[in-house]
Amino acid sequence: MIKKHTALWFTGVLISGLVLFTGCESSVMQEKNQPNIIWIMADDLGYGDLGVYGQEVIKTPRLDQMASEGLMFTQFYSGHTVCAPARSSLMTGQHTGRTRVRGNRSSATGDRVPLRPKDTTVAEVLQQAGYTNALIGKWGLGEPGTTGIPNEKGFDYFYGFLNQARAHTYYPEWVWRNTDQVVLEGNLDGQRGEYTHDLDMEEAMTFVSENRDNPFFLYLALQIPHAELLVPEDSLEEYLDENGNSIFEEIPFEGAGNYSAQEMPNATFAAMVTRMDRDIGRLLDLLDEIGIDENTIVFFTSDNGPHSAGGYDPDYFNSNGPLRGIKRDLYEGGIRVPMIVRMPGTVPAGEESGQVWSMWDFLPTAAELAGVEPPEDIDGISMVNALYGQPQQDPEYLYWEFHEGRFSQAVRFGDWKAVRNNVDQPIELYNLAEDIGEEQDLADDYPDIVARAEELFQSARTETEHWPVE
């Protein structure tokens, strides 16, 4: 049973007192000695794809259990509605009006834009605090030979994909280990012998086991359930009948671009999510087996809302739950994502929190957990108090911008959410406390709130040569 845990707002003198409080270590933090930090991020998993968030068909028992043993957030936001900028926001602590990477490719040149030496990442902050850091899975913030590769941005170990487009396949012929290419023999000549999700999980388990005696940060950036839709047979069987047919209605996908044909996209999608769930459970079990469970804080989330690629229809399983929109939208379905946090004995168990926060809050949160100061030029604030069930300051606002084919913006402040779908379009206004599905545009009724949103649309962002306003 998940109990609701209501986020508290600072007011009056309480604000001043808690600002002073958060400038030093909390009593809880004094009892913890640099907890291990694990950030697990699915790829294109929707708000409604987990049982604990309302999913009724796809089986996710281990993540549901994680929620019962930890804290489930209902108002957590990705840094963006697509891959690379969400990850840039996560790493730099800056929203996409200021972070270095604001799109999968530069809208001005079409190039992939890497992080620079001056773009401080959460891994660099934790490295300075004595942590050993690993990135396993998908990066997307620097191509080979650039300043943005993981090993140049605070990670002691890297295994997986630099290029997010290459991560669309689950049976590649090679992956990166640090700066070396590792050939996957079982996938040569079109074979499907080595499923990269499985390889990533084994790498993660090994890293955790080998670093049990020192503080570590594991950024486990999984591919699942991003298209293409492929999964080993042992997982698919759970969603087949006795004749080997999907238990769901299916529209076969003929294949397109980088995505191979798939006869059973719905069954495959469900099986991918369940396989991911199983393996996250294995990782949580390992923490207990090696005796570091109570000193390891684990975050689970998704990089953006559900996709509609590779033959998958997100409406079939209600992947966005009660939310409007999917990946590439700045409505809630594109950016509000699951967030479950677990640390036995410290993070409240079985509670639900409506605290509003986002990916760019992770860097200062991790810095406080590690006992070090975050960089000054960030947009996020520490959420340690919220994680520990204590009164928590709310962000002044949350801001997003999107540059694929149009320039769109969104901002949330309090319960208000404003969306502008192009520079020549009117601002839409929604009250999320009363209208989570963003169905009733209130812009005409609240011109003063619209004016505030317009002000934030202008002031929140900085100009960038790679993503100009067009």
User: What is the domain partition of the chain in residue ranges?
Assistant: 3-396
Taking the C-alpha atoms of residue 304 and residue 332, their distance in angstroms, rounded to an integer, is: 10
Contact between 354 and 74 under an 8 Å Cβ cutoff? The reply is yes
Q: What is the pLDDT of residue 258?
A: 84
3-state secondary structure the chain: CCEEECCCCCCHHHHHHHHHHHCCCCHHHHCCCCCEEEEEEECCCCCCCCHHHCCCCCCCHHHHHHHHCCEEECCEECCCCCHHHHHHHHHHCCCCCCCCCCCCCCCCCCCCCCCCCCCCCHHHHHHHCCCEEEEEEECCCCCCCCCCCHHHCCCCEEEEECCCCHHHCCCCCEEEECCEEEECHHHHHHCCCCCHHHHHHHHHHHHHHHCCCCCEEEEEECCCCCCCCCCCHHHHHHHECCCCCECCCCCCECCECCECCECCHHHHHHHHHHHHHHHHHHHHHHHHHCCCHHHEEEEEEECCCCCCCCCCCCCCCCCCCCCCCCCCCCCHHHHECCEEEECCCCCCCCEEECCCEEHHHHHHHHHHHHCCCCCCCCCCCCCHHHHCCCCCCCCCCEEEEECCCCCEEEEEECCEEEEECCCCCCCEEEECCCCCCCCCCCHHHCHHHHHHHHHHHHHCCCCCCCCCCC
Quick one: tokens of 159?
Answer: 């295994």
Looking at residue 2, what is its pLDDT? 55
- pLDDT of the residue at 130: 98
Per-position b or e across 38-74, b if 16+ CB within 10 A of its CB: bbbbbbbbbbbbbbbbebeebbbebbbbbbbbbbbbb
57 closest CA partner among 47, 49, 65, 45: 49
Distance CA 453, CA 457 (A): 6
Q: Do 333 and 326 contact (CB within 8 A), yes or no? A: yes
CATH class of the domain comprising 3-396: alpha beta
* pLDDT lower than 50: segments of the chain: 1, 5-31
pLDDT digits (tens, 9 = 90+) for 55-103: 999 999 999 999 999 999 999 999 999 999 999 999 999 999 999 999 9
The per-residue pLDDT for 84 is: 98
For residue 448, give both structure tokens: 């003063």
Each residue's pLDDT tens digit, 182-234: 999 999 999 999 999 999 999 999 999 999 999 999 999 999 999 999 999 99
User: What pLDDT, in 10s, does the model give residues 3-24?
Assistant: 554 333 333 333 333 333 333 3
Distance CA 407, CA 401 (A): 7
The answer to whether 220 and 136 have CB atoms below 8 angstroms apart is yes
User: What distance in Å separates the CA atoms of residue 115 and residue 25, rounded to the nearest whole number?
Assistant: 31
Q: Report the alpha-carbon distance of residue 454 to residue 425 in Å, rounded.
A: 12
For residue 18, what pLDDT is reported? 35
- Which tokens belong to 373? 């100061």
User: pTM score, two decimals?
Assistant: 0.93
Calpha distance 120→122 (Å, rounded): 7
User: With the C-alpha atoms ordered 89, 93, 97, 101, is the resulting torsion angle positive or negative?
Assistant: negative
